[in-house]
Structure formats: C-alpha cells, structure tokens
Amino acid sequence: MSEQWWQKAVVYQIYPKSFQDSNGDGVGDLPGITMRLPYLAQLGIDVIWLSPVYASPMDDNGYDISDYRSIAPVFGTMDDFDRMLKTAHDLGIKIVMDLVVNHTSDEHRWFKESRKSKSSPYRDFYYWRDPVDGHEPSNMGSVFGGSIWEWDEATGQYYLHCFSKKQPDLNWENPRVRDEVYDLMDFWLAKGVDGFRMDVISMIAKNTAFPSGEAGPTGYSNLWPLINDDQVHVWLREMRERVLSRYDTLTVGECAGATVQTAKKYANLDGSELSMVFQFEHVGLTGSVERGKWTTKKPKLTDLKRVFEHWETGLEGVAWNSLYWDNHDQPRAVSRWVEASEEYRERAAKMLATCLHLMKGTPYIYQGEELGMTNYPFKSVDECDDLEAHDAYRMLTQDCGCSHEEAMEALRAICRDNARTPMQWDASELAGFTTGKPWLAINPNHAYINAASQVDEPDSVFSHYRRLVSLRKQSLLVRQGTFELLLPESEELFVYERRLGDERMLVACNFCDRQVAFQVPAVYAGGERMACNYAEPSEGVLRPFECFAIARAGV
C-alpha cells in the first residue's frame, strides 16, 4: 500500500494562548503564530495541530465553542487566520484544526435556543432528561467534577455535560446535529485546512440509557461506561462519506478508552474512518483508583514498554499509530516520564525524543517539548488557570483527605497548566512571549531553557529533535519498518529493533540516571550510529539517559 502523506509527517501541536503574543495583551494569538512559522520550518515539522481558535467564552480555554465559523477576538480575525494558513502552506506546513463536536459552549446559539423551551426546534440538539425521584437521572460524574447533569430551572429538566456545565453534550443521535457538524467541517476544509484533530470523538456515541454505576470517593461513578463503542464507528463512516472523502486530510481522533482492538476500526488503513487515534494507555499508567490521574507516580518502565509494544505490534499492517509523550492536557514529557535532575535534563529530553520518534507511527511534538521545557513549580492552586486543576484541588483536599501540600504535589506533577505556561523563546524577562502581563506565569527556568539559546546550537535539544525529524523523512525503515521490543524485563532500558527487508535498526535508550550494562548485538558491529546524546560511543554500557540508534543493511 503506498504511503499516505500523514504517515511520513511529524506534527507539532500549538496551544495558541501560550505560543506567541503579538499585540501585548499577554495572550498568544494568530499573528504571533505566523511570526514563528519560520522557527517551525527550521525544526522541519510538516503539520501543525492548532488547538481551538474559534469564538469561545474560554471556560475551557477554547474547548467550549460558541461559534464554529468565527475566530475568538483574543486570537485575532479570520484574515489573521487566512494569513497564517497561507504562510504555513507557502512554507510547506499543513494546518490541522481542532474539531470539538462532542459538545458546544452553553453560549452557542444552538444551546441558547435549545434551553428556551421543551418545544424548541433545537431541544434535541442536546440531551435533556427529567429528574428521577427528584434527583439527577444518573450518578455519573463529569471529568471536571460534580454530576454530568445540570439542572435547568426554566424548563424543569437536566442537561448532560461530560465536561464542564458550560460544555453541554451534543446529541449525535439527531441527524440535524450531524448535518451541522459535517457542514462546519466542510467550511474549514474548503478554506484549505488539511484535516482535524477530533476532540473526545470516542464519546460522541453514548449509552442513552444513562446508567448509574458504583460511586467513587467523589460520590459519583465513572462516566467512561457512557461510551457506545459500536455506534461511534457508524457515524465516523458517515462523516468520511459525507465530507472527508472529498478532501486529502489527516484526521486524528482523541480516543480515551480506545484499545488496540477498537483502534483497528478507528484507524484502519482502508481509510474508512480516521487516519489515526490518540490512545491513553501509556498516560493512564500513572493513575490510581482512589485519586484518578492525580498522583505523583512514575510508570514502571516494563509497563510503559508493554503498552508501546502492544500498540506497535497490534496495529502492524492493519492500522496506523500516533506517537506522543505530552500535549496541552498532560504534564511536560521530561518531568513526567523520567526522574532527571537538571544535570541530566537535556540528555533525558533527547533520549525521550529518540525513543518515541524512531517507533512506527506519526510523532507529535507538543510546543516546548523540542526545547526540553519542564513542569512549573506551582505553590498554590491560585497560580493555576485550569478549571480541572481547581476541581482537582477541591477533590483531593475535601474528598480524598489530602493536605494542601499533598494536593499541590499532585498538581505540580500532573496538572494541565504545566503544559500551558508560555513558550520560552528567549532569556528576557517575559521570555520573548509577550510585552504585556502573561495570562499564565512564565517558568523561571526560561533563563536557560529557551529557543534562542538552542536553534543554532548543534548539541541542543532542539537540534536533536530536528535531526530526528529529518531522519524520519529520509528513512523508509523508520517510517514503515516493523517493531520488536528487546529486553522486555529491564526496568532501566527501553531497547527495540526495527526491520524492513534486509535493513535493521537498533534503538537503545537508558531511562535512568545510572550507568547500565548493555551489549550491542554483534550483528550491529560497525553499523552507523545516529540520534546519539553523548559525543563518544560507550562500550558495554549505556550511560545515564544515553540513547542511540544503529542501522545496518544487507544483514
């Protein structure tokens, strides 16, 4: 099967609020992105995933959309968008938008009409239900705390919201909702956008019996049983037929709960649904039943390797993988996946990059990851902007009995604000991000972790990422070779092999700050070393956070 362009691509995610401010209001914007496109061209990436820039009350920083066809004024105008799109295309960079259609903002026209009366023509654009025994229709809890049901006094019913109460869920059972979604997708694709990242797309089909479950420490039950894993594929195939089939797009579905089995449908190579999915198995390794994701745990390396092996081998030849360490919802990669002191931070960042980028699938770089940016040292929840962080602090201290410091330890480890601190462009006071008051504090370590000190430095994390991006472009083995995990029981080393025809590549990564014995297999003797993070090769060991790849042909 011929390669699709998105199978050769490396994607860079921009969180617009935090990327580059151009007008001094302290918030990133579209002209700021346009200004920084040459930097991304230098990195060599092929696609930008742009988190939402649509009109929004910003309850969830744009993931609560009030008008899908207009740009939020804080980010600029539609002309600014068109200028950014053209500049990116002129640089050979495609733009993928964030499609958030599991829910709208409660300030969207559809919801305003829907809530007016039970007889509104928009009433069943959303899920409305009567009270049951005077209470919410079920005991499921929303992702951002509280019930998934919000009482509406005016019409005496509850409406469903899996996220905040300002994010009512769209009723995809209603064909008029689907018509509207396909129409807005067509609007953006006709403008020349190159695809979509589809927000919580695995949740659009629901078990409309809205069952209750066993309540957890918060008093609510988990909402994931709401997902209807069969119906979602029917609507994705309809979406493909009605709109996507008319364009050459990259589509990546955010699919919390996806398994290798369901991904074989979502991301099958026959192009009937999506190009690929974001799975959550690796990021879920650090959670707990009692506190959900709010722990300070590091994953066991054997567990992490098993997840990647499962997905790499499970989709081989039948579906396509995405590859990511972090995004706007996850803590910073180098802070989460390893225990690296500042002495080893850069080496560890390069090692994580090598480990991920030489696997099979489309890699995603989250803004700042290519610089080795880190989590932020939050001392108080008042320093956090994210509604999820504020709910988590309340849950941890009130439902889980955590002290302030225990709750803050968890927030420092895992809250989404870690990834949303402004991009660190240079060492100046405001990191070159803004000339105004930044909407979220800038990490003080921007004094030594910033783009200006790295873009022209061959030994920098940025240059290491650039070499990996370039290697993928040159190497069919990296893009299409098979994956085999080696040393599965090692808790220190992540070592795997890629094979394609008579070509093979060994990728060796030390995930810890200690030297570990490692013998390169004899078949690789004399092979070309690449993607190294130490100047000279080591013999018989992998040094702290050491990584390298060795390629051989004809063996």
Catalytic amino acids?
A: 199, 254
Of 291 and 328, which CB lies nearer to ligand TEU in the complex structure?
Answer: 328
Q: Phi and psi (nearest 5°) for 149?
A: -110, 135
Q: Which amino acid is at 180?
A: E
User: Between 163 and 235, whose beta carbon lies closer to ligand TEU?
Assistant: 163
199 makes contact with ligand TEU (CB under 6 A): yes
Q: What DSSP designation does 102 have?
A: S
What distance in Å separates the CA atoms of residue 127 and residue 105, rounded to the nearest whole number?
A: 14
Q: Provide, rounded to whole angstroms, the least separation between the CB of residue 88 and ligand TEU.
A: 22
Give which of 397, 271, 394, 258 is closest to 314, Cα–Cα. Answer: 258
Window 507-546: residues binding ligand TEU (CB under 6 A)? none
Contact call for residue 206 and ligand TEU (CB under 6 A): no
Environment class of residue 409 by beta-carbon count within 10 Å: exposed (0-12), middle (13-18) or buried (19+)? middle
Helix, strand, coil in percent for the chain, rounding step 5 = 35, 20, 50
Q: Are 12 and 37 in contact (CB under 8 A)?
A: no
400 is written with which tokens?
A: 């889980």
| Residues in region 404-423 near ligand TEU by CB under 6 A | 416
- Closer to ligand TEU at the Cβ: 163 or 494? 163
Among 46, 60, 150, 169, binds ligand TEU (CB under 6 A): 60
Q: Does 100 bind ligand TEU (CB under 6 A)?
A: yes
Bridge pairing between strands 128-129 and 157-160: antiparallel
| Residue written as token pair 């002290």 | 403
Q: Closest distance between ligand TEU and the C-beta of residue 467, in Å?
A: 29
**Nearest residue (CB) to ligand TEU, 60 versus 370:** 60
For ligand TEU, the closer CB: 143 or 348? 143
Q: Which two tokens stand for residue 132?
A: 């049951």
Strand 516-517 versus strand 541-542 pairing type? antiparallel
Residues 317-376 contacting ligand TEU, CB under 6 A: 328-329
Q: Which of residues 138-177 bind ligand TEU (CB under 6 A)?
A: 143, 163
CA neighbours closer than 13 Å in the CB half-sphere of residue 346: 18
CB of 129 to ligand TEU, least distance (A): 21
- What is the number of the residue whose Cβ is closest to ligand TEU? 63
Least distance CB 455 / ligand TEU (angstroms)? 28
Which tokens go with 420?
A: 């949303």
Give the one residue of 200, 236, 244, 381 binding ligand TEU; rule: CB under 6 A. Answer: 200
Does the protein bind ligand TEU through residue 273 (CB under 6 A)? no
Per-position b or e across 425-439, b if 16+ CB within 10 A of its CB: beeeebbbbbeeebb
Nearer to ligand TEU, 205 or 477 (CB): 205
Contacts (CB under 6 A) with ligand TEU, residues 290-309: 293
* Shortest Å, Cβ 523 to ligand TEU: 41
Question: What is the spatial distance between Cα 459 and Cα 452, in angstroms, rounded to a whole number?
Answer: 13
- Is 58 a binding residue for ligand TEU by CB under 6 A? The answer is no
Q: C-beta of 242: minimal distance to ligand TEU in Å?
A: 23
Nearer to ligand TEU, 307 or 551 (CB): 307
Cα separation of 26 and 218, whole Å?
36
Q: Does residue 285 belong to the site contacting ligand TEU (CB under 6 A)?
A: no
Q: Among residues 385, 386, 346, which one has the least CA distance to residue 369? A: 346
Residue placing its CB nearer to ligand TEU in the complex, 102 or 454: 102
Q: With CB under 6 A, what is the number of residues at the site for ligand TEU?
A: 14
User: Cβ of residue 392: shortest distance to ligand TEU, in angstroms?
Assistant: 8
Residues between 425 and 484 that touch ligand TEU (CB under 6 A): none
DSSP symbols for 130-195: --BTTB-S--BBPTTSSBSEEEETTTTEEEE-SS-TTSPBB-TTSHHHHHHHHHHHHHHHHTT--E
**Is 105:65 a contact under the CB 8 Å cutoff?**
yes
438 and 417 in contact (C-beta within 8 Å)?
Answer: no
- Amino acid identity of residue 259, one-letter, is T
Angle between helix axes 461-474 and 30-43 (nearest 10 degrees) is: 70
Task: Using the minimum distance from each CB to ligand TEU, give the nearer residue, 143 or 423.
Answer: 143
256 touches ligand TEU (CB under 6 A): yes
User: Which residues contact ligand TEU by CB under 6 A?
Assistant: 60, 63, 100, 143, 163, 199-200, 254, 256, 293, 328-329, 388, 416
